[in-house]
Chain A
Amino acid sequence: MSHVNEHAHPVTGPKTYGLVLLALLVLTVITVQASYFDFGPWNTVVALLIASAKGSLVALFFMHLRHDKFNAVIFVGGLLFLAVFLIWTLFDIATRQPVLPSNLKTPVQEFPGAPLGAPVRPSTGQPRGTPAL
């Protein structure tokens, strides 16, 4: 039985894991240092790229995904759904204008029958200045 286990799941030694830990600590120092630089709108992107490099090291070595294609597909599949969730939401956030009269391309009727583009008294739709009913 043991040869089956060792064949399916190769044993990685402490040396490799030590090097991975070293790389993770170096990347932690880099991400802290990078936070003192201003990349403008790319600040968060840089932070997330470094975090993803660290995450990949953890998943590939500590979680053994480099020897485990089947579970890698499960995990990456989950990450893809998360990416759709996140990216499509950010599309909306990035392209949405606040709803102000000055942002509207065509005059909008406040309700059917109200004068187009003219200032109205919101409660009745009558032109401003007319006495209230």
Chain B
Amino acid sequence: MSTATPSAHAHAEHGHTPFLQHHFREMSQQFDAARIGMWLFLVTEVLLFGGLFVGYGIMHARHPEAFVAAHHHLDKTLGALNTVVLLVSSFTMVLSVWAAQTSRKKLLVLFLLLTLACAGTFMVVKYFEYSHKFHEGLLPGKYYSHKGDTVPGQFLFFSFYFMMTGLHGIHVLLGMAAIAWLVVRALKGHFSSQYYSPVEITGLYWHLVDLIWIYLFPLMYLIS
């Protein structure tokens, strides 16, 4: 150790993968650092959505009748369908991580594309739900123009509905962009059991998006 410079030593031993950044000692250190960074980011995401969940809790506690009346405008079937679609997409995402861990390149690309297809299905269903609400005037705050309500204050529910599902939808779109980037890199043959950090941390992000929807679904569609 005293004769060889540390960097030369590291490059000689680990020179077989071009994806080791020079500031990391070895691949497993780089992998662990990437995951810690992602988990810290996910915690900030939890707190970001947490603020909206707390606001939802306050307004739901203060205006229970308005929230129950407003949630009847949502379609439980479409909500449940989207829940299943996202759960399946989490499953295909974790299988693509497994495919990368075991160096199965074709399966990796296949599972990533299946995940993209599920995410696309989710957004299409969301599009139909949103356009139905725009048409009915079920909009947040002062834009609420639905006629024939018997319970006042329903605009409050739709403020939270659009903020929370909208922010979640943006996260789905960003996840789709990240997965598309993974498909390109997977096709170039970048990923193997030696190096799959991007697949792993995109997977973590994608599962968190699923996790948030798991809480959004009962709070928006199933309240009583």
Genuine A/B complex = yes
A32 touches B80 (CB 8 A): yes
Cβ of A108 under 8 Å from chain B: no
Within 8 Å by CB of A21, from B40, B51, B91, B223, lies B91
A28 near B62: Cβ-Cβ < 8 Å: no
Q: Which of B36, B90, B207 contacts A74 (CB 8 A)?
A: B36
A105–B116 alpha-carbon span in the complex (Å):
61
Contacts A25-B87, A58-B90, A58-B214: A82 and B40 contacting too (C-beta < 8 A)?
Answer: no
**What 1/0 mask marks residues of chain A from 59 to 84 whose CB sits below 8 Å from any chain B CB?**
10111000010110011011101100
Chain B residue nearest to A44 (CB atoms) is B223
The reply to whether A58 and B26 contact each other, CB–CB distance below 8 Å, is: no
Question: Is the interface on chain A under 10, 10 to 19, 20 to 34, or 35 or more residues?
Answer: 35 or more
Q: Is chain A's interface secondary structure helix, strand, loop, or mixed overall? A: helix
Complex Cα distance A99/B194, Å?
A: 65
| Cβ of B224 under 8 Å from chain A | yes
Interface set of B (CB-CB < 8 Å, partner A): 14, 26-28, 31-32, 35-36, 39-40, 42-43, 46-47, 50-51, 53-54, 57-58, 60-62, 76, 80, 83-84, 87-88, 90-91, 93-95, 98, 101-102, 193-194, 203-204, 207-208, 210-211, 214-215, 217-219, 222-224
Interface residues of A (CB under 8 A from B): 1-2, 4-6, 8-9, 11-14, 17-18, 20-21, 24-25, 28, 31-32, 34-35, 38, 43-44, 47-48, 50-51, 54-55, 58-59, 61-63, 68, 70-71, 74-75, 77-79, 81-82, 85-86, 89-90, 93-94
